[in-house]
Chain A
Amino acid sequence: MLNYVLRRIALLVPTIIGISICAFAFVRVLPGDPILAMAGQHGVTPERYEILREQFGYNLPIWQQYFNYLWSVMQGDFGISLATKRPVINEFMALFPATMELAFVALIFAVVIGIPAGIFAAIKRGSWFDQITMGVALTGYSMPIFWWGLLLIIFFSGYLGWTPVSGRIALTFFLKPITGFMLIDTLLYGNWAAFVSALRHLILPAIVLGTIPLAVIARQTRSAMLEVLGEDYVRTARAKGMSPNRVVNVHALRNALIPVVTTIGLQVGLLLGGAILTETIFTWPGIGKWMIDSISKRDYVVVQSGLLIIALIVMSVNLIVDLLYALINPRIRVQ
């Protein structure tokens, strides 16, 4: 197993280098000028412009700029944001927990509803429950989530007034972040009212972000279940007179869930992409919104390092999923 893990990680090295080249190259070819982007309505004098170019190293040959960048990244220095002059990694660390929390709750929402729905749909195959569930799932899967989010805001926040419009917690609560996860922090402080407030703020964004994963998981669970229910050993168990519930619980479920777990792991990239839209709609202070704002502000350093960090995260999660899968299913390792 260790060998397998090491081999998988070694395989990633060229990919990581490729990703860093991409992130670096994208930013170089972005139209617009980072130095002019920093200036306000008065502009910059040509002399000052040259000085700044030199200061940021934009006058160096492109390959040298890349190696300088790679070298500082390897030392953990992701550069300084052009707009705020703060280290990019600090901004990332400040905002990432918000995205994580949103994505995590969205995923829980998707799993808690998606898996049981998929299982029942499979067991009651062809029933009205199955048809409705699968119809709803396909609709969810086809949903333009930015529009879905707007509709939910109109209805629940605007019309009914049940949920807050945006933000992570009511402003009356002033809690210094400990973990950065609002739900955990409020509990650590023992502030129940703050916890409820944080939860209320999370509900709509989590539903919006969780909609597509929910649909995917429900559909995947159903077809995995159907496949397993058709296998010989399940038929045998049934034939031997095992109660239908036991068949589902003991045999089918366990085997059906393996592909489902993989599916869940592969949702991470999609969740981060969906977070861009969700965070934009709900003005959720996470990294999706941070990236969008930085692209439009032409904050080159943030775009470059943000892309790199996000790609590394997606890759690591995929690696972990693969390894877990290999752990469950030893046949993979040999290949």
Chain B
Amino acid sequence: MATTNTSASAPASGLREFWFYFSVNRGAVIGLTVFAILVFVAIFAPWIAPFPPDEQFRDALLKPPIWDAAADPRFILGTDPVGRDMLSRLIHGARYSLFIGFFVVVGALIVGVVLGVLAGYFRGWVDVLIMRIMDIILAFPPLLLALVLVAILGPGLFNAMIAIALVLQPHFARLVRAAVMAEKSREYVAAAKLSGAGHFRLMMVTILPNCLGPLIVQATLSFSNAILEAAALGFLGMGAQPPTPEWGTMLASAREFILKAPWVVTFPGLAILITVLAINLIGDGLRDALDPKLKRS
């Protein structure tokens, strides 16, 4: 099935091959499109949003969306309890969610990769110590641990992100450790060692690129998990604090209106679902494209 490449164009056609497998997956392409739109919306939020996210229209509290008879035509998706435009808040909320996902993944990735490489490469007591700590973190239900950490650090978006990154990083560490242990015994590593490559060079340049595939898949998974967990923390009042237009926080502070004004509850949740779904679709596509075993069939 795989096309034969000449060695000169290997990197480019590697990418092309990846794109070939990725684009076969219709879901993944849809996910990627939605995600691209979200990124666009997030970047250009101040220009796209009809109003600033925290501007209060005291004359238009809890207005329903445009298709309702009682709607105010200025506010397409209605307003919240203090008269802020829902659509503008949702648009700005995309910034927070994507930022949370990105920051958490980068944080968890860096910490997890460093710890995993150290553990897998040096083995011995370093390995035991690091892996025991990972075991301890994994013994707590993630949301509960994140909750306690946020309670310690103080409720807030940034602290929530730190807590979530900490909770998610053991997965990276375990993955990398296993990969490093497997690669270490390979011939090319032994050869590099013989030619006098240092520990650091060996780990970063030689071993790591070989476990990139699973890492990318894990990173996508963590991206969507981070958004969900941050929203859950926000929902429990421990994440981003109002008036930050973070979706989970919006949901929580509007929960009392669930029967009277369902739109203030429905839209933020829908936004979370769509974002997370898009990322998970991409994740599935990535796995199919990067996992050589599934390529066969």
Contacts and interface: CB of A to CB of B under 8 A. Distances in A.
Direct contact of A and B (CB under 8 A): yes
A151 interface: yes
Contacts of A22: 136, 140
Interface residues of B, number: 43
A30 B273 contact: no
A307 B144 contact: yes
Nearest to B296: A230
Interface in A10-25: 14-15, 18-19, 22
Interface residues of A, number: 46
Interface in A81-109: none
B152 interface: yes
Given A147-B269, A303-B148, A226 B136 contact: no
B199 to A, nearest CB: 26
Contacts of B149: 26
Interface in B246-282: 248, 251, 255, 258-259, 262, 265-266, 268-269, 272-273, 276-277, 279-281
A151 B258 CA distance: 9
Contacts of B148: 26, 30, 295, 303, 307
Contacts of B265: 147, 150
Contacts of A143: 273, 276
B134 to A, nearest CB: 10
A190 interface: no
Interface stretch (B87-95, B190-198, B224-232): B224-232
B269 A151 contact: yes
B93 to A, nearest CB: 13
A203 interface: no
Contacts of A153: 258
A148 B284 CA distance: 23
Nearest to B131: A15
A307 B269 contact: no
Contacts of B147: 276, 291-292, 295
Contacts of B269: 144, 147-148, 150-151
Contact of A310 (B141, B248, B259): B141
A144 B258 contact: no
A138 B144 contact: no
A86 B87 CA distance: 49
Given A138-B281, A144-B228, A311-B139, A31 B144 contact: no
Contacts of B224: 142
A230 to B, nearest CB: 6
Contact of A142 (B135, B248, B255, B277): B277
A191 interface: no
Interface stretch (A69-77, A168-176, A265-273): A265-273
Interface in B221-248: 224, 228, 231-232, 235-236, 248
Question: Chain B interface secondary structure, helix, strand, loop or mixed?
Answer: helix
Nearest to A292: B236
B45 to A, nearest CB: 21
Interface string A10-50: 00001100110010001001110000000000000000000
B139 A15 contact: yes
Nearest to B269: A147
A218 interface: no
B141, B228, B273, B277 — which one has the most chain A CB atoms within 10 A of its CB? B141
B236 A273 contact: no
A143 B271 CA distance: 11
A121 to B, nearest CB: 14
Contacts of A318: 139
B64 to A, nearest CB: 15
A139 to B, nearest CB: 6
Contacts of A288: 144
A172 B165 CA distance: 47
A254 B277 CA distance: 31
A146 B251 contact: yes
A272 B143 CA distance: 9
A144 B140 contact: no
B144 A276 contact: yes
A15 B132 contact: yes
A273 B280 contact: no
B297 A226 contact: yes
Nearest to A32: B151
Given A18-B133, A307-B148, A135 B27 contact: yes
Contact of B152 (A31, A141, A280): A31
A314 interface: yes
A125 to B, nearest CB: 9
B280 A314 contact: no
B136 A18 contact: yes
A311 B140 contact: yes
B213 interface: no
A150 B258 contact: yes
A151 B147 CA distance: 24
Nearest to A144: B272
A307 to B, nearest CB: 7
A276 B140 CA distance: 13
A326 B38 CA distance: 45
A295 B273 contact: no
B156 interface: no
8 contacts: A14-B132, A18-B133, A138-B280, A138-B284, A144-B272, A269-B138, A291-B144, A318-B139
Interchain residue pairs A-B with the least CB separation, the first 9: A147-B269, A273-B141, A273-B143, A142-B276, A142-B277, A18-B136, A311-B139, A272-B141, A144-B272
Given A144-B248, A310-B140, 10 more contacts: A15-B135, A31-B154, A143-B273, A144-B269, A146-B235, A146-B251, A147-B235, A150-B258, A280-B236, A311-B140
